Every structure is written in structure tokens, then in C-alpha cells.
Amino acid sequence: MNSITRKGLSQIKSIRSFSTASMSPLEPNKKINYEGIDAKLKQFKTHHSAPLTLAEKILYGHLEDANTKVERGVTYLKLHPDRVAMQDATAQMAVLQFMSAGLPETAVPTTIHCDHLIEAYKGGETDLKHAKDINKEVYNFLSTSAKKFGMGFWKPGSGIIHQIVLENYAFPGGLMIGTDSHTPNAGGLGMVAVGVGGADAVDVMAGIPWELKAPKIIGVKLSGSLKGWSSPKDVILRVADILTVKGGTGAIVEYFGEGVESLSCTGMATICNMGAEIGATTSLFPFNKRMVDYLNATGRSNIANSAMKFQNNLVADSDAKYDQLIEIDLNTLEPYINGPFTPDRGHPLSQFAEAVKKNNWPEELKVGLIGSCTNSSYEDMSRSASVARQALDKGVKAKAKFTITPGSEQIRATIERDGQMKTLEEVGGVVLANACGPCIGQWKREDVPKGEKNSIITSYNRNFTGRNDSNVNTHAFVASPEIVTALTIAGDLTFNPTTDFLVDKDGNKFKLQPPTGDELPSRGFDAGENTYQPPSKDGSSVVVDVDPSSARLQLLEPFKPWNGKDYTDMQVLIKVQGKCTTDHISMAGPWLKYRGHLDNISNNMLIGAINAENGKANAVLNQFTGEVAPVPTVARDYKKRGVDWIVIGDENYGEGSSREHAALEPRHLGGKAILVKSFARIHETNLKKQGILPLTFANPADYDRISGDDRISIIGLKDLAPGKQLTLVVKSAKEGKEFKIQVNQTMNEGQIEWFKAGSALNYIKKQKK
């Protein structure tokens, strides 16, 4: 047994039978099936003698067929997740797809969380009121859909999906999928929680097994304990620095070792949450005493008790093997600040000031932002408030602007009661709504003109170019909430709170002491306002209206099936140069309001991608008119002319969010294939779901041979088979001749059927008939 479990839970003796606990106090009739998982694992081990990691135990315990022979990185697993969670931006399209499947209710517990459509501007109360007004149509659609199909609905102001899930739904040993890339947050409670596109969610909501290629397992062994200014955020910032934004692709990151004991449950969730930034399928921690404490504090002692009896299946086998092993000594881990423009560019705090000066990054700090789904726990807010209190006691307030985003209504109400909110406001902070806000570009920023070079620092997870404020010259850095607070008080990006001094109101120097803060509130959590709408017992009479003239909601038309022929003379729409995230393919921010209207949101397709032909964004040559125009405009023109098109991309194409719009939009506007050097996991799956061919160069150097003027044919589609290469014929404008290249594809037999049917949803409907 894992040492942390032996030490932390030594008083509990395993017993043969497992008590049955409800998945959540909000769903008393939905039970955790620990006995079923245990039975599956016993059956699995009859033909699999190797020791298992924790991630494998959870995955294989949810297999449709426990007799499946599994090879990491090769076998496609058919799994039955315990639940689905969706945020309001992605839920619109997922619900529209589920509606078109014609089913009366979801097959598994499902929740919708309204957190993405609230723009940060004046402050929490004002911004929330404005959001409810302008998004009334969408909120009504999601609320009535939840009632009709038996889903739980968290109203705007409830909080961020991942914090709500951690507080109410996550449980050790569970398997959950969520239509948001930071769903792995629930790994802080020992759950395999995976971010997916909405089409995957529809599968599970419809009771169809969810497919996942058996991940490789990266082990991160933690020793020692965190000290001083170091925090759980610094663990994942260091891991991102080691693995880079694609180093976790196709793998689950599993943490273990005695160092885990120094981390709170919400601290572990922070680490798992930001694992999305390394491309990992998910991240998780072994069951331990800190999870028990958190479950008890959030009213789920019954789950804690059941998990204790199931604990042998909630830790890795002692001799489990990892595909890669990373070791981090928490005793020596110093705070990290990562960025700008990418979350894997790591800087130890002691070296950061030098990097700022060397790279000529703006030293004046304009804004510090704390909170988000990554760092908005009671502990985070308490530690940040302890830093702010030290400054206030010396008569000092923040020199930079300061915003605070509580992760949930429960966190907001509790820090208001216990005084942390007042302290953060007194130092100069503005408390925003319990929502995503600036983290996803929902920020009406007015302190800096668009285009001006400036620096901000956040406790968020992502800092891609323009993500927070749509300003490509905003240098965004990522750190822990306490480091963000300290630098915001100083107003200086080069300030190091471990070595540098501030000046008090009397002109005397003083040094900030390391932050302190309770892991959990001693007086318990204050639930705050009740913002939850429970599932209806019978939604058959509920009507879900979608106005045909709506600019924000649009019922879906099925994509056409494959016609059985090769794709010939496809025009290259754009050859993308360098990093192309889902933000580049389908921007968030002001475009979020169109997430339920496929045609309208398609007007943002690839507008952030850099065209390799001219180095510009949203400017491609229309091969028929000879004019340079926005990417969606050219795509629509090609579609009108009946011309199929293809996108050429670089490494890790589709990195970032789980948003399936980045796959739906190319399909809607006539795209047939995406050819790149490599894909990010979620985006590749999303493309398959929508009937687009995701292809990779067999020889990456062939990327350089193709131009934006070329025409490409895909030969041999009739013989499409798992693992089989395809041949592309390129009519090269640059070389003035035709040449052939080989490309790879990773579709299995089921995914090939999706392609033939035109989409996974089309295939589901055929199977249900």
C-alpha cells in the first residue's frame, strides 16, 4: 500500500464489503458503485498480472468489458463514466446535439454550470446583473433543457464549474468527463476527470461507451514538504517547465510520494487543474487524509467512509511502473512565475527579475488577478489575505490594480464572513462575480489602450497571447495567488518578496513574511445564496424553445455522410505558422455569446491563426478572386463554389481548451481535413467526432513543401483502416508540379464509422434506430 495512505489512514481497516454512498448530497438516489469497480478490477487481473497505477485501477474499473486486453498508448478503452459536467459555453452545443439524438433523459448524472458568460467590468453584483440580462435567452434554454432531460442546473453566480464539482460531486475513484479542459481539477479528490468535447459528452449522456486510448502514465514523485512562499501552484508550474505544453499528451499524470502529505485537497486540485497546460489526459492524486478532511468539511462524510473501505483501489500498487518518472523535492522547490505568452516558460522566483530585464518585458505591473478555477479556494484566499494584511498594517495599499474572483458562491460567502474579502478589498482589490471572467477573456479592460505593451500577473492557468484581454501586447504571467498579491502590492514585476523590501507609510523599509492561511474554515463553510436547480423527476412536459430568428441559438442540421469517394483537388485554405491553440481557431471573449449558434460563431474560425504565407492573422488569399480576405470569408466563398478545403498546421495543433467549436466550425464551412505535424489530444478527437480527417505528416519536413496556394487530393479513402497511412497528391504552385507525400491517421474502426456516417452523432442516431 502507498506510504501516504498507510500513514494517513492507518486507523482504518479494510473490510470486504463496501458501504454504498450517494454520489452527492444533491443526488441521494445516485450511488457510488465501489463494489462494481472492485469486481471489474478482480476480473481484469485474471488476465493482467502486472501491478497497476491508480489511474489504471480507476479506468479499468470502469471498462465496459473487464476482459479487454490493454496496452498503454495503443488500446482503445470503452468506458462508462459516472457522470458528466458542462459549463454554459460548451453546454449549449452539447445540449443541442443531445436534443437531436431524440432521447428523453441523460443516462448518467449530468450538470450544467453557468460560469463562462459573465463579463468582468465593474464588480460582482453589477456584472452578474448585466450578464443575467444579456444572456437571458441562453440561460433559459439551458435551464429548461436541464429540466427536460433530468440534469442539475447551477445558475449564474453559483461559481466556476470545477470548484462546484469539487465541492459537491467529485469523489475518490470516480470517472467523470467534462466539456472543459480543466475538468481534471477533480483529480484533487482522487477522481479521473477528463476534459472532452461536447460530442463525447453526448455519447455518455446517451449511455454509449466513451472511447479513450489507454493513456501512458507519467509518475511525479513528491518528497519533502512545501515551505515559506512555495505553494501547490509551484509544483505544477515546475512540472509544466519540465514537460512543456505537449509533454503530457496521451498520458495521465499521477502524483505520489510522502510529499503529497504537505498538500491540501484544494492544493492538489490546483495541480491537477493546470495539468491541462501540459496536454495531459488528466492528473490525479492518491486517496489520503486531506481528502477525507475536505469531504467531511463539504458534507460528504458518507463518501469519505466508503472510500476508506475501498482504499486499496484508491492508491497505486507499490511496484507500479510508470512510462516516465519525475521527482520533485518540495523542500527545495521555490516559487515559480511562468510566461509570458505560454504557461510552460518557467522561471524560479530568484531568477525572474533578471529574465524580465534581459527580455525587456514591461517592469511596471498594471494588474494582478487572483482566483479562477485554478486558485480560488479558502486556503488561497486566506494566504493572499495574510499578505495583504501585512501591507495594510504598514499603511500600504496595492500599487497595481487588483481583482479577486471567488471560485464559488460558497467560497465568496465564507471569505466575506471570515474577513478575507474585506482585507483584499481594503488593500485595493475589486471582487468580481463568481465566474471565469478575465481568465477566459471575459474582461472589459479599460486601464490600458488596446495594443499597448504592458504586464499583468495572474493565478490563472493560461496566458496565451491575447487570452485575457484580447491585447496581443499584454505580457501575462502565471504564479500562485500569494506571489500575485505580493507583486501587485509592489506594482513591480521584478519584486521578489523573499529578498526585497517595501516602504511603509513613514518611509521605513519592511519585508513581507511568508503567507499563512487555514486549509479549511474553522467555522465550516457558509453555503451563501442557493443557486441550484435540481433535476426534474419528469421533464416530459417541459418545452425547450429555440427561436428560429435567434442570433445566439440555432438547431443543428446533420452533416452529410461521406460520399464514398476520395477527396480531390482540395484547396489549402490556410497554412498555419507556429502555435495554433483553440483560442486561435475559435476565440472566446466576445464570441462566447454565439456558442449556441454554429453559423454565427463560425465567423471567428481561425481568425487568430498566423498565415505562413504573409505572417498575418486573418488574412488569406482567395484563389478564385485574387483578393486577400478574412479566413471565414474565404472559407464561405469556397463552400459556396462547392470547393472542399484543407488546413495545414504546425506542432501540437489545437492546444488548449476543449471547445469543440474549433472542430465544428471547419466542418460547417466546408473543411474536409486538417493536416499538421502533431495534434493536441482533445482537438484531434473533436475533429474525428465531426467527420473531419485529422492527419499528420509521416515526414514532418513535408510541411515546408506545401504552400497556401496548393491543391491537395487524398487517395485511398475507400481502404481507410486503423493505422493505415494515406497518400496525398499535392499540386504544388511553388514547385510547379505534382508530388506525393504519406500521412498518418489514428482512427480506430469505430472512428472510421463516424467518418463514413458524417459525424459521431449521425452514427449514434443510426445505432439507436
Active site amino acids: 115-116, 180, 462, 657, 659
Q: How many residues does the chain have?
A: 769
- Look at strands 365-371 and 454-458 and give their pairing: parallel
Show the CA angle centred on residue 536, arms to residues 547 and 105, nearest 5°: 70
Counting Cβ atoms within 10 Å, is residue 191 exposed (0-12), middle (13-18) or buried (19+)? Answer: buried
Backbone angles phi, psi at 638, to 5 degrees: -60, -45
Counting Cβ atoms within 10 Å, is residue 360 exposed (0-12), middle (13-18) or buried (19+)? Answer: exposed
Instruction: Name the region of 457 (left: φ>0; alpha: ψ -120 to 50; beta: rest).
Output: beta
- Look at strands 251-256 and 216-223 and give their pairing: parallel
Residue 510 in 3-state DSSP?
Answer: strand
Which residue(s) pair with 431 in the sheet? Answer: 404
Distances (CA, A) of 503 to 364, 429, 492: 17, 20, 13
Rounded distance between C-alpha atoms, residue 610 and residue 615, angstroms? 6
Which residue(s) pair with 27 in the sheet? Answer: 24
Residue 721 in 3-state DSSP?
Answer: coil
Q: Which residue has the cell 488528466?
A: 282
Contact predicate 209/245, CB 8 Å: no
Q: Per the structure block, which three cell numbers stand in for 566? A: 476520395
Rounded distance between C-alpha atoms, residue 263 and residue 680, angstroms? 29
Q: How many CA atoms lie within 13 A of 616 on its CB side?
A: 10
Q: Which residue has the cell 494517513?
A: 8
Contact predicate 738/730, CB 8 Å: yes
Rounded distance between C-alpha atoms, residue 665 and residue 212, angstroms? 23
DSSP code string of 7-40? HHTTTPPP-SS----EEETTEEEEE--HHHHHHH
Counting Cβ atoms within 10 Å, is residue 417 exposed (0-12), middle (13-18) or buried (19+)? Answer: middle
Q: Per the structure block, which three cell numbers stand in for 116? A: 463562462
For the chain, what is the total number of helices (H) and then of strands (E)?
Answer: 24, 32
Burial 71-99 (b: 16+ CB within 10 A, else e): ebeeebbbbbbbbbbbbbbbbbbbbbbbb
